Amino acid sequence: ETGVTQTPRHLVMGMTNKKSLKCEQHLGHNAMYWYKQSAKKPLELMFVYSLEERVENNSVPSRFSPECPNSSHLFLHLHTLQPEDSALYLCASSQGAGKYGYTFGSGTRLTVV
Amino acid sequence: AQKVTQAQTEISVVEKEDVTLDCVYETRDTTYYLFWYKQPPSGELVFLIRRNSFDEQNEISGRYSWNFQKSTSSFNFTITASQVVDSAVYFCALSEAEGVTGGGNKLTFGTGTQLKVEL
């Protein structure tokens, strides 16, 4: 039990599909994040939510749409994706600023066909 | 802007060898936090250590040790007597100390070092 649970673990979707990634944290943290990990690239921060409000959108295309209904849940809604969006999507949470560390989920391996 | 550099893309060692993973960082902040994470093939990022910028004491945890040198902006990680189970990608990361109200700080990662430990 890592404290941060992501579902599904694997997802294959067509370019015209709509799907959602789910993240749930059981740690009582007040900030949640989406990161993208592509092959041979650094982890890229996509979105940051603090106290359920989006505080950063790191120039992410609109085909990615985050949602944070409460402090424990974070979603990433996907629509009309491109093959280059295939990657590992990691969710993380933290309490306050970085001084207390970040806890990551196991990720969703997304393949766009 | 923050930046983390892990110059070693891949390292291969034989079991029981010692190995050091390098990390160099850049930041304009006077207060910041440094992290090391391990990513096994399963994909999850496993937290290993956090160090704040005011604490330059080296740390040892079992076979793991960390050498933080502010003068050279480095935070290197050494595995002593490596084992096959240590095979993974290791990431160094940097976070600024203060963020927006309630948290939500950006964690800047290096590109990672793939460590392969063979029998």
Share of chain A above pLDDT 70, in %: 95
* pLDDT number for residue A5: 95
Are A88 and A109 spatial neighbours (Cβ–Cβ below 8 Å)?
A: yes
Residue A2 confidence class, pLDDT cut points 50, 70, 90: low
Integer Cα distance of B17 and B101 in angstroms: 45
Return the closest-CA partner of residue A44 out of B51, B107, B53, B62.
B107
* pLDDT number for residue B104: 53
Rounded to an integer, what is the distance from CA B88 to the centroid of its chain? 13
**CA–CA distances in Å: residue A17 to residues A11, A60, A64:** 11, 19, 12
Return the closest-CA partner of residue B47 out of B34, B62, B56, B58.
B34
Residue to mutate among A5, A102, A106, A111, with most B CBs inside 10 A, is A102
* pLDDT number for residue B101: 47
* pLDDT number for residue B98: 60
Give ∠ CA B42-B85-A99 in degrees, rounded to 5.
Answer: 65
Q: Is the pLDDT of residue A64 over 50?
A: yes
The pLDDT tens digits of the residues spanning A88-105 come to 999 999 887 656 678 999
* pLDDT number for residue A97: 62
* pLDDT number for residue B87: 97
Name the stretches of chain B with pLDDT < 50: 100-102
* Distant-in-sequence, close-in-space partners of A59: CB < 8 Å, separation ≥ 6: none
- Show residues of chain A in contact with B46, CB under 8 Å: 104
> B105 CB near a chain A CB, below 8 Å?
yes
Q: For B8-69, give the DSSP string.
A: -SEEEEETT--EEE--EEE-S-SSEEEEEEEE-TT-PPEEEEEEETT----EEETTEEEEEE
Average pLDDT of every residue of chain A? 89
Are A95 and A31 spatial neighbours (Cβ–Cβ below 8 Å)?
A: yes
A50-54, A108-112, B64-68: range with lowest mean pLDDT: A50-54
Return the closest-CA partner of residue B98 out of B1, B37, B33, B2.
B33
- Show residues of chain B in contact with A49, CB under 8 Å: 104
Considering only the beta carbons, identify the residue of B33, B43, B100 that sits closest to A50: B100
Integer Cα distance of B38 and B52 in angstroms: 19
Question: Per the CB < 8 Å rule, is B103 touching A94?
Answer: yes
- Show residues of chain B in contact with A31, CB under 8 Å: 102-105
Residue A51 confidence class, pLDDT cut points 50, 70, 90: confident
* pLDDT number for residue B97: 66
Joined tokens for residue A83: 């093959």
Return the closest-CA partner of residue B108 out of B87, B98, B94.
B94
Residue to mutate among B32, B52, B105, B109, with most A CBs inside 10 A, is B105
